[in-house]
A and B are shown apart, each in its own frame.
Chain A
Amino acid sequence: MNSAVIVFPGSNCDRDMAEALRLVSGRAPTMVWHRESELPDGLDLIAIPGGFSYGDYLRSGAMAAQSPVMRAVKAAAERGVAVLGVCNGFQVLTEARLLPGALMRNAGIAFVCRDVPLRIENSQSVFTSRYDAGEEIALPVAHHDGNYQADALTLDRLESEGRVVLRYLDGVNGSARGIAGIVNEAGNVLGMMPHPERAVEPAHGRTDGRRLFEALLETLSEAA
């Protein structure tokens, strides 16, 4: 599996993401700086990591969404390349309009940093095929703007199309309908607030995130 991790000024989970990808796939991803206008050839997966790109200026993810590399990411996503956005990466994907809705300040105002229980709502996606539908897992979250909001029509559509992939089991940040992760219409772009890359080896305390990367490895290596 050929992967790349996009690095913005202020990204701070880029190396965790790279390590998780290396650990699971046996291949280190290419790190791509935000000023690049082209991505490496033959990518199977693009990861947009967590952090505080551009200091969260204007809105979380807003500046990063306009950076040169994101034009290339958009084009790749349209070609069907898998794109995984975690935390700030999810915010970047909504701001870039690769995913619907917006991530607002947590309803409780405070930054939330803890392990949260989640339910896998859709195990058919390329990201979640190694989980069971309805399976309950736990992953760490660490965010200030994770409160997912969209109009009722969009939310209904996400639900009816099975695009809500992950849901919080308790109130974490005020997200509409407990949404923790969604995919785009084509199913190749996933945005999620919890951090799977922080739960891939026993030393992390949890390994529930590992199967997400294993699923990608399995699906994307087959396709290649």
Chain B
Amino acid sequence: MKTRVYVTLKNGVLDPQGKAIHHALEGLGFAGVNDVRAGKLIELELDANVSEAEVEAMCRQLLANTVIENFRIEHGSFEGERTGAA
């Protein structure tokens, strides 16, 4: 089973990296970008018997720092997603 954990900064937490990416996009001439927030995607390959509660515990204990970050768990095959390469 493939599981994805998305780790994002909580609302209101300043994101210096997102800000720098935003500036860089503007520097490239892309208009209309109102805000950029950067986060992390962590892919887990799990045994079928790993429970949702265990994945949540992984997030709380290590994958996310819940002082400043939120996490979201998604399951699926995610087949055919890695397109878009030049």
Interface residues of chain A, those whose CB is within 8 Å of chain B, are: 58-59, 62, 66, 94-95, 100-102, 104-109, 147, 149-150, 174
Q: Which residues of B lie under 8 Å from residue A108 when comparing CB positions?
A: 16
Q: Given the complex of chains A and B, what is the CA–CA distance between A135 and B68 in angstroms? A: 32
Contact B16 A102 (CB under 8 A): no
Size of chain B's interface in residues, with CB distance under 8 A? Answer: 12
Q: Is B20 an interface residue (CB 8 A)?
A: yes
Contact A109 B16 (CB under 8 A): yes
Q: Given the complex of chains A and B, what is the CA–CA distance between A216 and B17 in angstroms? A: 38
Chain B interface SS verdict (over half): helix
From B13, B16, B61, B67, A106 is in contact (CB under 8 Å) with B16
From A58, A59, A62, A174, B14 is in contact (CB under 8 Å) with A174
Pairs across A and B, CB under 8 Å, 23 listed: A58-B62, A58-B63, A59-B65, A62-B62, A62-B65, A95-B65, A100-B67, A101-B67, A102-B65, A102-B67, A104-B14, A104-B16, A105-B17, A106-B16, A107-B16, A108-B16, A109-B16, A109-B17, A109-B20, A149-B67, A150-B67, A174-B14, A174-B16
Interface residues of chain B, those whose CB is within 8 Å of chain A, are: 13-14, 16-17, 19-20, 61-63, 65, 67-68
A-B pairs with lowest CB-CB distance, top 9: A102-B67, A102-B68, A105-B16, A109-B20, A109-B16, A107-B16, A102-B65, A59-B65, A105-B17
Contact B13 A149 (CB under 8 A): yes
Q: Which residues of B lie under 8 Å from residue A66 when comparing CB positions?
A: 61-62
Contact A149 B63 (CB under 8 A): no
Q: Given the complex of chains A and B, what is the CA–CA distance between A95 and B20 in angstroms? A: 25
- How far does the Cβ of B10 sit from chain A's closest Cβ, in whole Å? 9
- How far does the Cβ of B81 sit from chain A's closest Cβ, in whole Å? 23
* Extra pairs beyond A58-B62, A102-B68 (18, CB < 8 Å): A58-B63, A62-B62, A62-B65, A66-B61, A95-B65, A100-B67, A104-B13, A104-B14, A104-B16, A107-B14, A107-B16, A109-B17, A147-B14, A147-B16, A149-B13, A150-B67, A174-B14, A174-B16
Q: Given the complex of chains A and B, what is the CA–CA distance between A59 and B67 in angstroms? A: 13
Q: Which residues of A lie under 8 Å from residue B19 when comparing CB positions?
A: 109
